[in-house]
Structure 1
């Protein structure tokens, strides 16, 4: 019985961490899309580090996919921003590219968060 309680507590703790991480990601993502709202990339780094450190705790659970989803979202968005940074020389292409990346990132965050709320795993 103690194992069942411990597992339930672990699941609840991981879900709380997931909500915190998705919230930090969302603040940064909305700030990237909405003019005049600039959230700190530091918030994203905090969420990213939390996900890296705690992902081992989720191994074998449905929440493992959420840690992988958030980590990959940050890495892919970061690479996309770096690869499109030279487009800022011409301003408009850089703005368009970074807006599209930010919208994609925002979609990933809200899709993942919605699945977390529904206690659903995400695709690999």
Structure 2
């Protein structure tokens, strides 16, 4: 017995493949946003590939329990929902800047920042998956 009780079990290779597919779907949504008239945030939140990816993440996360993939499914689901939140905030800030005529030249910045954050999240997660590593859970303020 070389494994300690706290060490994660090895995931099924099929589940690893599914996780790659999910990251690929999110990456496709980002690519759609980068190469089209849509924004990265808009494509990530509203495009079919990303919606399919988040549904698959919810369906597959139970199978990932106790493996390093568990952190990836948490990462993927949180990335989607935080994209919805930050995207909504970015749109409100952008509209406020445009309507006040103060920031017409910089009104695109909030959406750009969220788009770059999304690219980072998809790339970091997928690279960690490629290396067979879990994504570290950073402690939140007040979390034991």
- Who is 1:100 aligned against? 113
Q: Which runs of 5+ in 1 are unaligned?
A: 1-6
Give 1:28 shift. 1.2
Cα distance in structure 2, aligned partners of 1:102 and 1:35: 13
Give 1:24 shift. 0.8
Cα distance in structure 2, aligned partners of 1:63 and 1:31: 26
Note the alpha carbon deviations across 1:4-55, whole angstroms, 9 max, x for none. Answer: xxx87x62111111111101111112332x2536556111110000001110
Q: Which has the higher helix share?
A: 1
Q: Aligned-pair RMSD on alpha carbons? A: 2.0
Where in structure 2 are the equivalents of 1:71-110 lying within 5 Å? 71-89=77-95, 90=98, 92-110=105-123
- Who is 2:24 aligned against? 23
Q: What is the SS of the residue equivalent to 2:63?
A: helix
- Who is 1:63 aligned against? 69
Give 1:94 shift. 4.1
Kept in 2: contact 1:86–1:94 (CA 8 A): no
| Structure 1 runs (4+) greater than 3 angstroms displaced | 37-40, 91-94
Correspondent of 2:54 among 48, 53, 61: 48
TM-score by length of 2: 0.72
Note the alpha carbon deviations across 1:56-81, whole angstroms, 9 max, x for none. Answer: 00000111110001111111111000
> Which of 1 and 2 has higher RCO (CA within 8 Å, sep 6+)?
1
Q: Which runs of 5+ in 2 are unaligned?
A: 1-8, 99-103, 138-144
Cα distance in structure 1, aligned partners of 2:105 and 2:64: 42
